[in-house]
Amino acid sequence: MANKTQANPAVKKYVKTGIIAAIVIVVAALGIWGISALRGGGATVEEAMETVTTDAANAADLRIAVIRMDAIQTDAAVLKDLAAQRTKYENELRDELESRQKELEAEKAEIEKSQDVLSRDALQRRVIDYQNRVNELQRDLTERAQSIEIAFQKALNDIQEQHLNPIIEGVIAKKNLSMVIDGRFTRLGQNATNLDITDEIISALDKKVSKIKMDTPQGF
């Protein structure tokens, strides 16, 4: 969530207006590099700047708000429920790993005991079979761990696209906002009243949806 909520993780996608500031910073940084790299060829900076107008946003007309996406991920009911579902599958996989590891450790001990009893060929076959089982376990657990993350990310995207984004867009319209910024990259002063709308977003999201069922990961 709310990093689309990094999960990884947090809701990862944000409303377009929420990344305007970041885009401006990136474009500015690339612009400085580009001017330096291309110096000595083409138009001068002054000539290039002739295409730039003097128009700019008037601060008096701007209405800006901040949303802390990390707080939405940790505090929103639906995202806490989703995280609990993922943890349940991860714990189940961890318990199975420990059980199968104990079985393999017992088998390894038996192989070591039988070194003086089995023929060289028989011992080699048993060792190869044991190694194949270890490799199979590693493959199985890796695939199932990946399937947990895939199912989690799908549910996270569904929450964002079906619930979170419409709420954010609704708040932008209701408050007549010009820009929404991700609060993780923002420092607020003490006099910045009504700027952080995170709690309102969480409250509205909790009212709209509190639970969403994560798809059953493959292998469970």
Q: Which tens digit of pLDDT belongs to each residue from 182-215? A: 877 666 666 666 788 899 999 999 999 999 999 9
Instruction: Answer yes or no: is 132 within a domain.
Output: yes
pTM over 0.75: no
Name 11's bridge partners. Answer: 4
d(CA 168, CA 58): 24
105-117 mean pLDDT: 87
Q: Output the CA angle 105-111-117, nearest 5 degrees.
A: 160
Whether 32 and 104 have beta carbons less than 8 Å apart is answered as no
Q: Is the C-alpha dihedral spanning 67, 73, 77, 82 positive or negative?
A: positive
Residue 64: phi, psi to the nearest 5?
Answer: -115, 145
Q: Is the C-alpha dihedral spanning 76, 80, 86, 90 positive or negative?
A: positive
Q: Token digits for 195? A: 């700027």
Amino acid at 79: L
More confident residue, 56 or 162: 162
Residue 62's domain comprises: 16-208
Pick the closest to residue 150 from 55, 217, 63 (CA basis). 217
Instruction: Answer yes or no: is 6 within a domain.
Output: no
Instruction: Answer yes or no: is 11 within a domain.
Output: no
Side-chain half-sphere exposure of 211, counting CA atoms within 13 A: 3
Tell me if residue 180 falls in helix, strand or coil: strand
Most confident of 14-18, 55-59, 65-69: 65-69
Question: Looking at residue 190, what is its pLDDT?
Answer: 64
87-103 mean pLDDT: 93
Whether 68 and 198 have beta carbons less than 8 Å apart is answered as yes
For residue 9, pLDDT over 80 is answered with no
Instruction: Answer yes or no: is 215 within a domain.
Output: no
For residue 81, pLDDT over 80 is answered with yes
**Average pLDDT of every residue of the chain:** 79
Question: Looking at residue 32, what is its pLDDT?
Answer: 42
Confidence class of residue 20 from pLDDT cuts 50, 70 and 90? very low
Pick the closest to residue 9 from 63, 64, 79 (CA basis). 79
Question: Looking at residue 188, what is its pLDDT?
Answer: 62
For residue 39, pLDDT over 70 is answered with no
Instruction: Answer yes or no: is 82 within a domain.
Output: yes
Residue 219: phi, psi to the nearest 5?
Answer: 95, 5
Instruction: Answer yes or no: is 9 within a domain.
Output: no
For residue 12, pLDDT over 50 is answered with no
Tally of domains in the chain: 1
